[in-house]
Amino acid sequence: LKEQIEACHARGIRVPIYTTVQWDHFTARQHPEWICTDELGRIVGTPPFEAGFYREMNVNSPYVEEFLKPHVREIMATLPTDGIFFDIVRVIPSTDPYTQDRMRAAGLDPANQDHRARFALDSLNAFKRDMSAFVWSIDPEVSVFFNAGHVGTRHRAVIDAYSHWELETLPSGGWGYLHFPVSARYARTLGIDVLGMTGKFHTSWGDFHSFKNLAALQFEVFQMLAMNAKCMVGDQLPPRGRIEPHVYDLIGKVYAEVEQKEPWCHGARPLCDIAVYTPEEFTIPGASHNLPDAIKGATRMLEEGAHQFDIVDSASDLTPYRVVILPDAIPVDAMLAAKLDAYLAQGGKLIATFESGLNPDKTGFALDGLGVAIAGEGPRDAAGNLARGCVYPQANYVEYILPDAAIGHGLPPTEHAMYIRGMDVTARPGSEVLADIVPSYFDRTWEHFCSHRHTPSAGQPGNPAIVRSGNAIYFSSPIFTTYQKVAPLWCKRLLLNALDLLLPEPLVRHSGPSTIRATINEQPAQQRQVVHLLHYIPERRGEFFDVIEDVIPLYNVAVSVRVPGSVTSVATVPQGAPLPFEMHNGRIEFVVPVIHGHQMIEVIRD
């Protein structure tokens, strides 16, 4: 390792040192009493006679003081250390004696599952702060990162233990192509550097002698640039310790393009109209990088509509945003209600869907500004569970939306199936109903059913489906979860129409297909905006994950950008080809001759 570090340093390359925390095969064999245990007392992780090293070490055991800290001290004493990358640092509830003792000392009940989950998070955060302080006491200049495969809302509370964020996101390794934009759009709001991390593998870590398709690596890296992240491509050395030249030829092709694009990325910050709250904040923390369907569906819809947005939590400042979206499952307590009420009072716009806006007990809406009230809890299924929000394979509890002309622009004036049952609401006086719910003849049960799936519309409008109250629009259906599950175009069209009503002049519009990913950044020092247009299409060619093989160019794409003040020039970059442009009502309009995978356009302001 020392030779590798010296070789990199001779070429001006930083070399943070990797070490694992909760996966430690050597220590697990030496000290099995330091392994986490589940509610039945079994070790958490790889069984004894199964290949693998995935036994979860317990940070509440003597492992940290007796092994991990001496190990880190030795690394920093014997090797030139630019940083420490601690891998596998996750929320793992445990029932082992060390954890039980600490829980009792904290006044918690080790037999209570919720207490164990809360303590697992709190003790992990305490471990991070303690370990960072230990590392920085040795060398305050090194970088420190604790990796769990995801950076999300639970990281805000412990940001002081990190020097930066690293977003491990291998689309073919279980993360998928949605994980990076969701994670990056949140992480970039927290005020420290963001580094994107993909891999060179066709699948995931440990996939030796494989190669990611060039187009896929281009997209994954260029998307990092578009979303204000630095770039990293992961690899693993085989035991002989020699890099595979063909792998670095592949990475080099992409990094050569990055080098050309970098001047338009240094110091860039995103421009955003919209803040989207993530339901992740209100779920039990864990190690998984599986995200709530609602935030994935929201990200899909907004990206496909070319809208510019951040993902936020209840601690975020809403002042910079013109519209706030609460997707499907955002409970609103008194503090958040006051914040959102103040935002609306200051002229902000709000979209809420399904159970978003309800108080934490779900007994009523905490936001009067939504202009709706609960009409009833809705039907229950044969097991006694509320049907609303549940996914049934045959859409047993379907209902239909009949939109008016404004919210239904671009849709036929008829019923549209909402496959997941929504809320039963009434409109408060003064609210405007933009769409009605049309019930089916009956819900599908063993006693009465129709054809293969859900029952048709009964044709008579019922409760409101979409309600506008001043600057707020409420959807009774979980449109974001529905879009993530089955992607009805009409769900996206309704959402984009609602945004047209509340945000008639978005930052970016384009004439291209919904497969374009458009972002806009600002470089204040250069007095310019930089538009990124990406066009790569992931396909499920194999059963297990999406791949990108081909770059499909687009030609003559018209782009319109909202700009403050006047503009002196527009050009493609890094090519430097000037583009003719026109100014109309605070917008600059131009045509991009070709998008071959990734095209940046600089807009120079006066």
Cα(463)–Cα(431) distance, integer angstroms: 13
Looking at residue 531, its amino acid is V
Contact yes or no for 533/540 (Cβ under 8 A): no
* 260 phi and psi angles, rounded to 5 deg: -70, -30
At 289 the pLDDT is 66
Query: Per-residue b/e over 27-40, b at no fewer than 16 CB within 10 Å?
Result: bbeebeebbbbeee
| Token output for 426 | 């009434």
For the chain, list the domains and their CATH numbers: 1-84+97-140 (no CATH), 272-502 (3.40.50.880), 508-605 (2.60.40.1180)
DSSP structure class, residue 290: P
pLDDT per residue over 226-267, tens digit each?
999 999 999 998 888 888 999 999 999 999 999 999 999 999
User: Taking CA 556 as the corner, what is the angle to CA 554 and CA 558, rounded to the nearest 5 degrees?
Assistant: 110
Looking at residue 143, its amino acid is S
pLDDT per residue over 198-214, tens digit each?
999 999 999 999 999 99
Which residue(s) pair with 581 in the sheet? 590
In angstroms, the Cα distances linking 603 to 267, 430, 574, 582 are 16, 43, 13, 12
Cα(470)–Cα(479) distance, integer angstroms: 21
pLDDT at 484 over 80: yes
* 366 phi and psi angles, rounded to 5 deg: -85, -10
Q: Which long-range contacts (CB under 8 A, 24 or more apart) does 345-348 make?
A: 347/471, 348/318, 348/321, 348/322, 348/323, 348/324, 348/471
- Which secondary structure element, helix H or strand E, spans residue 253, and what is its range? helix 245-261
- Which secondary structure element, helix H or strand E, spans residue 220, and what is its range? helix 214-226
DSSP structure class, residue 10: T
The mean per-residue pLDDT over the stretch 266-287 comes to 89
pLDDT at 567 over 80: yes
Which of 31-35, 215-219, 422-426, 448-452 is predicted least confidently?
Answer: 448-452
| Token output for 488 | 């009805």
The helix/strand/coil state of 398 is: coil
At 288 the pLDDT is 58
Q: pTM of the full predicted structure?
A: 0.95
The mean per-residue pLDDT over the stretch 534-557 comes to 97
| Token output for 106 | 């904290």
pLDDT per residue over 508-525, tens digit each?
999 999 999 999 999 999
Cα(426)–Cα(371) distance, integer angstroms: 9
Query: What is the sign, positive or negative, of the torsion defined by CA atoms of 20, 22, 25, 31?
Result: positive
* 137 phi and psi angles, rounded to 5 deg: -70, -25
In angstroms, the Cα distances linking 273 to 438, 505, 506 are 33, 10, 7
| Token output for 283 | 């779920």
pLDDT at 272 over 90: yes
- Which secondary structure element, helix H or strand E, spans residue 603, and what is its range? strand 598-605
Q: What is the 3-state secondary structure (H, E, C) of 458-487?
A: CCCCCCEEEEEECCEEEECCCHHHHHHHHC
Cα(400)–Cα(366) distance, integer angstroms: 26
Cα(498)–Cα(307) distance, integer angstroms: 13
Q: Report the percentage of the chain scoring pLDDT > 70.
A: 99
At 283 the pLDDT is 86
The mean per-residue pLDDT over the stretch 495-518 comes to 98
| Token output for 334 | 């008194």
The runs of H, that is alpha helices, within 10-156 are 25-30, 63, 69-78, 97-105, 113-138
Query: What is the sign, positive or negative, of the torsion defined by CA atoms of 566, 572, 573, 577?
Result: negative
The beta-strand segments (E) located in 248-390 are 269-270, 274-277, 309-312, 323-326, 349-353, 372-376
Q: What is the mean pLDDT of the chain?
A: 96
The mean per-residue pLDDT over the stretch 75-94 comes to 97
- Which secondary structure element, helix H or strand E, spans residue 588, and what is its range? strand 587-595
**Which band of pLDDT confidence, cut at 50, 70 and 90, is reported for residue 285?**
low
Q: What is the 3-state secondary structure (H, E, C) of 512-579?
A: CCCCCEEEEEEEHHHCEEEEEEECCCCECCCCCCCECCCCCCEEEEEEEEECCCCEEEEEEECCCEEC
Closest by Cα among 413, 396, 507, 499 to 452 = 396
pLDDT per residue over 323-340, tens digit each?
999 999 999 999 999 999
Tokens 């048709």 locate to 456
Cα(411)–Cα(165) distance, integer angstroms: 42
The beta-strand segments (E) located in 133-242 are 143-146, 165-168, 194-199, 230-234
Contact yes or no for 276/325 (Cβ under 8 A): yes
